[in-house]
Structure formats: C-alpha cells, structure tokens
C-alpha cells in the first residue's frame, strides 16, 4: 500500500560494470551479478552463501562475522522460528529506558538528500527552489524494500560512524524494514519481491540476516527501525481477504524473527500500527492491542521493542484543529486520540509501548474523499518537522517516515502494480511507479508545507 521507497544508494556510485565494490558493499553471493572485487584497503569477505561484503582490513574474517553455523536460508524450518544465532562479539547490548532519540543527532540519508537537491534544481521559481532545497536537511527514514539494498545500510552506518568520530555528536540512523513475502496483502501498489509460495519466509529471514550483519559492524551507531508498514494492521482487519489470511502465519513468523534479531544487535524497534482511520476505529482498538502485545511477548518482551509507529506514509494530523468530515463516526479522529486510546490498552496487555508518528505529509488537512484513501493525495504539504518535543509522554518522536516526493503508486492502469486507489479523484495524476520520484507532487508538498519551509 505504501511506498516502495528508495532506489539503491549505489545509483550514486560508479556503475558496477567497470567498478570495484566500495567499502561495506556487496561483492558476491548466490544471485549476485555486481562487482566481485573490492576497493583497496578492503577485502571481499563471505558472510554467508548469499552475501559477501567489502570489509576494511585483512582477509581474515572479522570477529563480527556471523558464525559458520548460521543456517542457510533453505534449511530454515517453515513453521518454527529459529533461535537467535549467537553473535561473534559475545557482548549483548543493553536497552536504554529513555527516549532513543535523546542525546542523538539523526543521520541524514544521502540518497534522499541527493533526490531533493536534484528536484530543487529543476524548480525555476528561486524562492520555491530554496525552500525545496532545505528539505534535504530534514531527516527521513530509509526504506529497505528489497534485499539488494541491504548493503547500502553498511554504507550509511559507516558514514554515520565517521561523522560521529569527527564531530563527537552521536548519530542515529532511521530505517524501515519492509520486505515481507506477499507484502501489502490488501493492496497492489507495493507488492514485494518475495512470495510465500516461493521460499518467501526463508528469503525474508536471509534479508533480516543481511541487515543484522551490517548493523553488527557498527555497534556505536544507534539504529531505530519501523517494522513492516501495514503488515500487522492487515492481520487485524483484512483477514477476510484470501491473500492476507494466507499470509497470516508467515507475517507473524517473519516479524517475530525481525524483532528478535534486531533486538539482539541493539536496534530500537517500532511496529507499524496503521493510523487513526484504520486501527483507531473503536471496534479495532482492542483486537489491535491484543495482537501487538502478543507479538511483543512472543519476541521475548525485549526492551528494544519500544512500541508502535503510526500514520506511516499517511496524511492524518497528530492533533487536528477540528475533525475532518470523513472521520465522522470515529471519536479517534486524529493520531493523538488514537494513541491515547491504544496506549493504555497495550499497557493492560503488558506492553509498555511508546509511539512515533509520521507527520511528513500531514501539513494540510481535509483533502480526502474517504479516510481510507492513501495514494498521492492531492494538495498535501510537508508537516511538522521531526522533533522529540511531542507534547505527549506516550510519543517519543514526531518523525518523517515517508520520504516526501517518492510516489505511493502509479496511476497507469496498465501497470501490473496498478492499484485503483491511485486513480481516485483525490489522487494526484499522472503518477509514476511506487517509490520513484514524483516531481510535481514534491513541488506541491513544498509549496503547501505547514509550518512553511
């Protein structure tokens, strides 16, 4: 349903054909067709059958390499989640009970910054172009929506680590884990690369292993993750759809694996919880709380599982001046009402969850024909800037999860990923494929930003 997010960061680097892989990039593995040699000072090091990486220094594998006993993806049982592989470092990270953002500076994705800078350069109005360019300094999350992007995480973490060393300012990298098999079971625009019928669960476990292998190399850089937008919310309300009911057990096993593995390397996780107009309906609150609390407990109640992310890639205000008419019938007409309703239910179920709320595209309100409309909503503007000054003890941070300007889905009805939501009258058209840059949309987000840029 949501963005397919980013092209690979490697697009910024020299093309594969005549290049060596850069530090921390992939240099081999089953199915890999890129470069197999590494830049000077690094060695192509096998992490598993599917993944080799350019690691600085000697050819002997570093202590952080996953142990040889890590099961290859094909041997992963399909019904029993495997136990955590032990790490090579031996030290188990300890979760801070505080807000994960406190004391940290958020790392800016160089990929999004580059997209924004290129987009601003195309705007002829000088005042608007300057406002557009300023968006490059506002932190968003980076979406890892295909396995071949996982190597980019190492590039970002290495960059963040060097900023941390040179400035003394601790860095926090924000990521979205988004590659479930049969992804987006209730919509079409963000269909993923893995299918349950074709080894999807094992492929997903491998995807998580790749992210974890990168994160392990940089224990001093903090990582915060949003886990699988829409997935658990679909299990609350859309099990009547065949694709969602088929996916139920696999989604649960995959999210469980992601939470456990990421917690083991010190990543702070927030599970996606839809938004006020989805799970915020009174009838959905209690089933949602039960599901999220169960997933939390099944993943060992790790203190690294901080809570839930709401309004990801959506348009709801945190605090609406007045209810949008489309919210009629739901007393939880904005995100703060939703969070204030869900938070105590989670507490009762034993999950002391806190929240983060996406406000990246929530600057303008009362734009939609129906609350469920989600695709490239016309007239949307950038919203409240990311801040930990949230006005609510339940909310750790206002964030921008969706990188504004990347398309939600194509309006081309001949495309295999066409979702009819993207051709509704409140959707901006013509729109390109999900995740690709949508210049006209970005320009509107800039001009309608509230507060203004």
Binding site for ligand NAG (CB under 6 A): 8, 146, 148, 193, 412, 414-415
Sheet with 26-28, side-by-side order of all strands: 26-28, 51-56, 42-48
- Coil, helix or strand at residue 416: coil
Question: Which one, of 283, 153, 150, 130, lies nearest residue 205 by Cα?
Answer: 150
Residue 230 designated active-site: yes
CA pair distance 365, 144, nearest whole angstrom: 29
CA 56 to chain centre: 28
- Name residues whose C-beta falls within 8 Å of residue 282's C-beta, 6 or more positions apart in sequence: 330, 331, 332, 341
Rounded (5°) CA angle 48-93-216: 25
Question: Cβ distance 271 to 99 under 8 Å?
Answer: no
Q: Which of 179, 230, 324, 396 is catalytic?
A: 230
Structure tokens at 322: 């007045």
What secondary structure, in 3-state letters, does 300-316 show? CCCCCEEEEEECCCCCC
Picking from 430, 425, 450, 451, the residue whose alpha carbon sits closest to that of residue 440 is 430
266 contacts: CB under 8 Å, gap ≥ 6: 93, 95, 215, 219, 222, 223, 304
Nearer to ligand NAG, 332 or 411 (CB): 411
Helices (H) and strands (E) counted in the chain, each on its own, are 9, 11
Tokens found for residue 80: 């029993």
User: What is the set of active-site residues?
Assistant: 230, 408
């Amino acid at each position: 349903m949501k963005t397919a997010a980013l092209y690979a960061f490697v697009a910024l680097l020299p093309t594969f054909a005549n290049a060596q892989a850069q530090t921390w990039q992939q240099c081999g593995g089953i199915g890999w067709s890129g470069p197999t040699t590494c830049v000077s000072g690094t060695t192509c090091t096998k992490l598993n059958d599917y993944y080799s990486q350019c690691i600085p220094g000697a050819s002997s594998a570093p202590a952080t390499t996953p142990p040889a006993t890590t099961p290859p993806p094909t041997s992963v049982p399909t019904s029993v989640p495997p136990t955590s592989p032990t790490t090579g470092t031996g030290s188990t990270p300890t979760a801070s009970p505080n807000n994960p953002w406190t004391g940290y500076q958020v790392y800016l994705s160089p990929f999004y910054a580059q997209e924004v800078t290129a987009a601003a350069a195309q705007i002829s109005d000088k005042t608007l172009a300057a406002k557009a360019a300023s968006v490059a300094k506002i932190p968003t999350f980076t979406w890892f929506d295909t396995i071949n992007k996982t190597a980019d995480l190492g590039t970002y973490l290495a960059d963040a680590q060097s900023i941390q060393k040179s400035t003394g300012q601790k860095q926090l990298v924000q990521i979205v884990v988004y590659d479930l098999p049969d992804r987006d079971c209730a919509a079409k625009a963000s269909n993923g690369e893995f299918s349950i019928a074709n080894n999807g669960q094992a492929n997903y476990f491998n995807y998580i292993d790749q992210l974890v292998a990168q994160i392990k190399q940089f224990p001093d850089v903090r990582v915060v993750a949003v886990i699988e937008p829409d997935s658990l919310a679909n299990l609350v309300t859309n099990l009547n759809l065949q694709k969602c009911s088929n996916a139920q057990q696999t989604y649960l096993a995959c999210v469980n694996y992601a939470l456990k593995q990421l917690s083991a390397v010190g990543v702070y996780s927030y599970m996606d919880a839809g938004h006020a107009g989805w799970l915020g309906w009174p009838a959905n609150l209690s089933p949602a709380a039960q599901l999220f609390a169960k997933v939390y407990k099944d993943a060992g109640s790790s203190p690294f599982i901080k809570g839930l992310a709401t309004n990801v890639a959506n348009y709801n205000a945190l605090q609406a001046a007045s209810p949008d008419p489309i919210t009629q019938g739901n007393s939880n007409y904005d995100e703060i009402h939703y969070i204030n309703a869900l938070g105590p239910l989670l507490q009762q179920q034993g999950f002391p969850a806190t929240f983060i709320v996406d406000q990246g595209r929530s600057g303008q309100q009362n734009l939609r024909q129906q609350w469920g409309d989600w695709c490239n909503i016309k007239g949307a503007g950038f919203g409240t800037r990311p801040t930990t000054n949230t006005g609510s003890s339940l909310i750790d941070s206002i964030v921008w999860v969706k990188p504004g300007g990347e398309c939600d889905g194509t309006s081309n009805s001949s495309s295999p990923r066409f979702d009819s939501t993207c051709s509704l009258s409140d959707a901006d058209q013509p729109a390109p494929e999900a995740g690709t840059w949508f210049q006209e949309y970005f320009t509107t987000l800039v001009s309608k930003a509230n507060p203004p840029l």
